[in-house]
């Protein structure tokens, strides 16, 4: 029963026990026993080695405590209770070290989850009658920056942040590039209490706005201008000269977010994880040296939306 419960938690105790025995015997963990299904990649295996090494002193200490407890007088209930508590703490620590292993394996799928969420966000925008201008002008935009969840919170001091993907449209073919991953964040001051979650899409309207994304980071409102995009029935949008136009939804309704002062930065970790190598934004958006089939549907829907389908 205990073994079944342990495996249901995702903890391969059989492999762990074998490696623990090797540690006690002073053997190296260079070649660890791998449970069926794997540890989730080389990074998780490296974490296993570190975790087991950290746990070895705990094992020795727990063995020492149990030895002491056997030699203690049965009447010393206080000492026994203390030892029991320490044993519980050691068990919790052991489970913690082991439980982080599968979590590291999940890091590799987070970029794909963000791409899938970006597709959901795009579909939500297309369903909104107030977003006609946004949909109608996808065909003459340079690209889009889709942030599925922009969190904003504050108590006197406030801030907002989120992750998203940038895709660039080819003027000649109308095709959309593979996604490049970015983060956006800001800090604000003043009387503010509460929190908010929004979906955000920014249309890249100018070449200057597009080229600002090729660096490692830039600030909105500085060399790159940003404005709230036109919304509502019959929105004209005449005279708009901003490099980027922002469109946002909060709880399914239009939310005019001010993004002046926000920093946009390349998410190198997500780009590397998604494409399996260290790549720059230009490698993804301009040279198009890398690809991932997980973005196919998002690119197709963008192409269809730009054509008015």
Determine phi and psi for 192, rounding to 5 degrees.
Answer: -155, 130
Burial classification of residue 5, based on how many CB atoms lie within 10 Å of its CB (0-12 exposed, 13-18 middle, 19 or more buried): exposed
The pLDDT score that the predictor gives to residue 304 is 93
Task: Quick: pLDDT tens for 276-309.
Answer: 999 999 999 999 999 999 999 999 999 999 987 6
Task: Collapse the DSSP code of 158 into the 3-class scheme (helix H, G, I; strand E, B; otherwise coil) and give the result.
Answer: strand
The yes-or-no verdict on residue 40 having pLDDT over 70 is no
Interatomic CA distance for residues 90 and 220, integer angstroms: 49
Residues in the chain: 309
Q: Which residues contact 306 (CB under 8 A, 6 or more apart)?
A: 138, 139, 169, 174
| 31 vs 283 pLDDT, higher one | 283
Task: Quick: pLDDT tens for 68-126.
Answer: 555 554 455 555 666 566 555 545 444 444 344 344 445 668 999 999 999 999 999 99
The pLDDT score that the predictor gives to residue 10 is 45
Average pLDDT (121-141) is 91
- Give pTM, 2 decimals: 0.64
Question: What's the 3-state SS for 10-70?
Answer: CCCHHHHHHHHHHHHCCCCCCCCCCCCCCCCCHHHHHHHHHHHHHHHHHHHHHHHHHHHHH
The pLDDT score that the predictor gives to residue 194 is 62
Residue where the block lists tokens 């394996």: 105
Inter-residue contact 67 to 60 (CB < 8 Å) = no
């Amino acid at each position: 029963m205990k073994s079944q419960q342990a495996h249901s938690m995702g903890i391969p105790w059989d492999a762990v026990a074998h490696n623990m025995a090797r540690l006690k015997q002073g053997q190296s963990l260079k070649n660890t026993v791998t449970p069926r299904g794997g540890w989730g990649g080389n990074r998780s295996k490296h974490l296993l080695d570190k975790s087991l090494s950290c746990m070895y002193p705990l094992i020795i200490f727990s063995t020492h405590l149990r030895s002491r407890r056997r030699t203690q007088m049965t009447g010393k209930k206080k000492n026994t209770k203390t030892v029991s508590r320490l044993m519980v703490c050691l068990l919790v620590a052991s489970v913690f070290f082991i439980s982080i292993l599968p979590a590291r394996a999940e890091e590799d799928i987070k970029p794909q989850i963000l791409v899938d969420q970006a597709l959901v966000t795009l579909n939500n925008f297309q369903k909104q009658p107030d977003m006609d201008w946004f949909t109608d002008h996808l065909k003459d935009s340079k690209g889009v920056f889709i942030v599925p969840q922009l969190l904003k919170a504050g108590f006197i001091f406030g801030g907002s942040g989120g992750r998203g993907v940038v895709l660039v449209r080819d003027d000649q073919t109308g095709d959309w590039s593979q996604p490049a991953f970015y983060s956006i964040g800001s800090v604000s001051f003043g009387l503010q209490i509460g929190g908010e979650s929004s979906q955000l899409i920014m249309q890249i309207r100018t070449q200057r706005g597009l080229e600002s994304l090729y660096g490692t980071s830039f600030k909105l409102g500085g060399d790159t201008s940003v404005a709230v995009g036109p919304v509502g029935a019959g929105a004209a949008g005449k005279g708009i000269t901003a490099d980027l136009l922002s469109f946002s939804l909060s709880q399914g309704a239009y939310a005019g977010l001010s993004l002046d002062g926000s920093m946009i930065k390349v998410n190198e970790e997500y780009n590397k994880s998604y494409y399996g190598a260290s790549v720059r934004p230009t490698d993804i958006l301009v040279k198009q040296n890398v690809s991932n089939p997980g973005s196919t549907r998002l690119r197709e829907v963008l192409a269809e939306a730009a054509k008015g389908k």
